[in-house]
Chain A
Amino acid sequence: DSGVTQTPKHLITATGQRVTLRCSPRSGDLSVYWYQQSLDQGLQFLIQYYNGEERAKGNILERFSAQQFPDLHSELNLSSLELGDSALYFCASSGYRGGDGYTFGSGTRLTVV
């Protein structure tokens, strides 16, 4: 157990739908990062939150959004889902600036049918 908890582990949904992925960071970590892993694109950084505030944005689509709550857990919202959104979504957490590396959760596998 890495200390980063992601739920659900698997999600199957239809095109056009909306889903929410949840992440609880490791105890004491203030930064949360979301990554998308697909076979053709590899690991793509989506977005980072630090202590409730958005800190950095990567290749995140406008249909996707995220937030970090006062208890530091984070949610990634994916809407108007397309077949191409099928992927593994990882959450990671770190201390300030993440210079010592990140701790990853086990991921949520999203399948859009």
Chain B
Amino acid sequence: GNSVTQMEGPVTLSEEAFLTINCTYTATGYPSLFWYVQYPGEGLQLLLKATKADDKGSNKGFEATYRKETTSFHLEKGSVQVSDSAVYFCALSDKAAGTALIFGKGTTLSVSS
């Protein structure tokens, strides 16, 4: 079946540091891939997405590239800010099967000034 594996957190960084959060997936079809962010006390917000291999999703300085050969969708940001502190979830959707989003367990990011 389909699944998503994220690196375990927490990830603790200083402001302006480089961020990578690893995400790999297992899928039988050709999924769409997503990163969601959850700020404290809030629901999940879509951060970026990619719908096919080699697509790069980007938003608010965050980027992730859909790598079919390595089944990965790692999240990166060149310079994090304190306001980026949140929980980040990688997710996949098997469009052909119309199945619900499957999420990784989430990675907590804490950025200090």
- Chain A positions within 8 Å of B, measured between CB atoms, are 2, 4, 33, 42-43, 45, 48, 55-56, 58, 90, 92, 97-107
Contact = CB atoms under 8 A, between A and B. Distances in A.
A107 B36 CA distance: 15
A55 B100 CA distance: 10
Interface of B: 32, 34, 36, 42-46, 49, 51, 89, 93, 95, 98-106
Contacts of B98: 55-56, 97-98
A33 B100 contact: yes
A22 B32 CA distance: 28
A99 B93 contact: yes
A107 B43 contact: yes
B26 to A, nearest CB: 16
> Which residue, B89, B93, B101, B102, has most C-beta atoms of chain A within 10 A?
B101
Given A98-B93, A99-B51, A99-B93, A104 B99 contact: no
B89 A101 contact: no
B43 A58 contact: no
Contact of A104 (B45, B51, B105): B45
